[in-house]
Amino acid sequence: MLSWALTFLVIALIAAVLGFGGLAGTAATIAKILFVVFLVLFIIGLIMGRRGPAV
């Protein structure tokens, strides 16, 4: 998930440098959404991983 966010970030940066504002904005928005999803899943994974063995 994080690799997809970084990929869209790179696409957004390249598109912005080349002057494609709409494409850059869309790719940046997708990158932000994917990064937030990654963070939520990462935090859920940390919380679930810290649970002790069932008694």
For residue 1, give both structure tokens.
């998930």
Mean per-residue pLDDT for 38-53?
A: 85
- Yes or no: say if 28 and 14 are a contact pair by the CB < 8 Å rule: no
- Does pLDDT of 18 surpass 70? yes
Higher pLDDT among residues 41 and 1, named by residue: 41
In one-letter notation, the amino acid at residue 31 is A
Residue 52's pLDDT is 64
Residue 55's pLDDT is 61
Overall pTM > 0.85: no
